[in-house]
Chain A
Amino acid sequence: KAGVTQTPRYLIKTRGQQVTLSCSPISGHRSVSWYQQTPGQGLQFLFEYFSETQRNKGNFPGRFSGRQFSNSRSEMNVSTLELGDSALYLCASSRASTGQGNTIYFGEGSWLTVV
């Protein structure tokens, strides 16, 4: 079956711009999580959604937002981009929320470079 699909895979943005990243979970999965991966901080949790409801939010500024649609697809948005937002943004999906004993599958990520 198709895995977690993230688009775009690579993008370059200028400081001050905004960006929207998209994630299509595995069919039948209702939970989507987002993580930011950088060389300095490693993998940091951004947010988790289940059936369009945000279940948890990480320690990131309000410039980072997300949402989930009725078909379980999810988007995350970063406004007023800063150089430090350059990272690999990973989306993960699972049948139930994290911590419910199910397997979490990660996408290949979206590489964002802010110049």
Chain B
Amino acid sequence: NAGVTQTPKFQVLKTGQSMTLQCAQDMNHNSMYWYRQDPGMGLRLIYYSASEGTTDKGEVPNGYNVSRLNKREFSLRLESAAPSQTSVYFCASRGYSDEQYFGPGTRLTVT
């Protein structure tokens, strides 16, 4: 099992460009999450999906959209990137044990 995988690992964007961060899990988990991690701020929830076909906003959703493509995949889209979105993005999934499992992260820089 690969667990939770994320692509890409690194990305540099110019202000105003768009991109999609991909996340997939092979643990048959219902719930999936997107977080961002910034120095001094800890991890903050952007969006989550409690089950296939549903998505909900977290603490910091502005500037992002998500798609729960199927049970395995949960993508995060930046429509018009801003320097304030420079961060490390983590995807996670949660199974029946309630334990959350995290991917390796995507380091995004917006110039």
Tell whether A pairs with B: no
